Amino acid sequence: MTTDREIALGLVTALEEGFAAVMATVTRTNRSVPRHAGAKMLVLSDGRQLGTIGGGEMEARVRDASAELIITGQSATIDYDLVDPGRGDPGVCGGSVSIHLEVFMPQPHLVVIGCGHVGAAVIELAHWLGYRVTAIDDRDELAHQDRLTDADVVLNGPLEDSLRQAGIDERTHVVLLTRNVAVDAEVLPFVIGSAARSIGVMGSARRWRTTRQKLLDIGVAEDQLDRVVSPIGLEIAAETPAEIALSIMTELVALRRHEAGS
């Protein structure tokens, strides 16, 4: 039987690998039940399972509930009677059980494209806020680990090659803090075509209109461009790189919290 220690280590490993997980723990039992208080099972976002809380239909329902909770990010407690399958109970043991489902989400992933003054400030603040940060720039003098000490990964070289290495998925937020429209227009088709959770571009509204038109001219669909938020950042009259970073990260945190609460 899988030990509690192995389950705990499995949770740590899953989060480090970028998987969400639910720890299902039996918290209350009454009369005859397959497992008693303290029994644990770990359900990962890719469908893997570690441990058991009794098997059968009840465990299958807990797996299904865990998959739904991972989508919302909200934990829950579920009560089951195990008496009469005819009325929908997931068992016939004769007892009842409460199971707490605690959701664990991996670090949110932020990809920062453009590592100038604002990019460096965003990387520092994002790290402080608990993001896993990938920094991308094609300029050798800017994209190196000695300068960007708060980035988990620094990618330097052709931008599209770096983007392919960045691991952009549905948990990834991408911000473009680049030096000009040409760079934005170069990388946005790849980013828009990815599974990124959100895409933001720094710059004025006028700059975004220019970039948007360039992308339309090369065949990027208008509905795809609607995924992009530009200018990125809450309006706080920011001027300095640190203030701009604050406005950008405030918007990203608000987005995360809104999604978690919806």
Compute the C-alpha angle 151/155/161, nearest 5°.
145
pLDDT tens string 183-232: 999 999 999 999 999 999 999 999 999 999 999 999 999 999 999 999 99
Whether 4 has a pLDDT exceeding 80, the answer reads yes
Residue 87 binned pLDDT confidence (cut-offs 50, 70, 90): low
Whether 10 has a pLDDT exceeding 70, the answer reads yes
Domain boundaries, the chain: 4-104, 109-261
**Dihedrals φ, ψ of 163, to 5°?**
-65, -35
**Percentage of the chain modeled with pLDDT above 70:** 94
pLDDT tens string 43-52: 999 999 999 9
Q: What is the dihedral of CA 71, 73, 74, 77, to 10 degrees?
A: 70
For domain 109-261, is the CATH number 3.40.140.10? Answer: no
The three state secondary structure string of the chain is CCCHHHHHHHHHHHHHCCCCEEEEEEEEEECCCCCCCCCEEEEECCCCEEECCCCHHHHHHHHHHHHHHHHHCCCEEEEEEECCHHHCCCCCCCEEEEEEEEEECCCCEEEEECCCHHHHHHHHHHHHCCCEEEEEECCCCCCCCCCCCCCCEEEECCHHHHHHHCCCCCCEEEEECCCCHHHHHHHHHHHHCCCCCEEEECCCHHHHHHHHHHHHHCCCCHHHHCCEECCCCCCCCCCCHHHHHHHHHHHHHHHHHHHHHC
Residue labelled with tokens 């760079």: 183
Rounded alpha-carbon distances, angstroms, from residue 256 to 59, 74, 88, 175, 193: 30, 13, 36, 15, 21
pLDDT tens string 156-181: 999 999 999 999 988 899 999 999 99
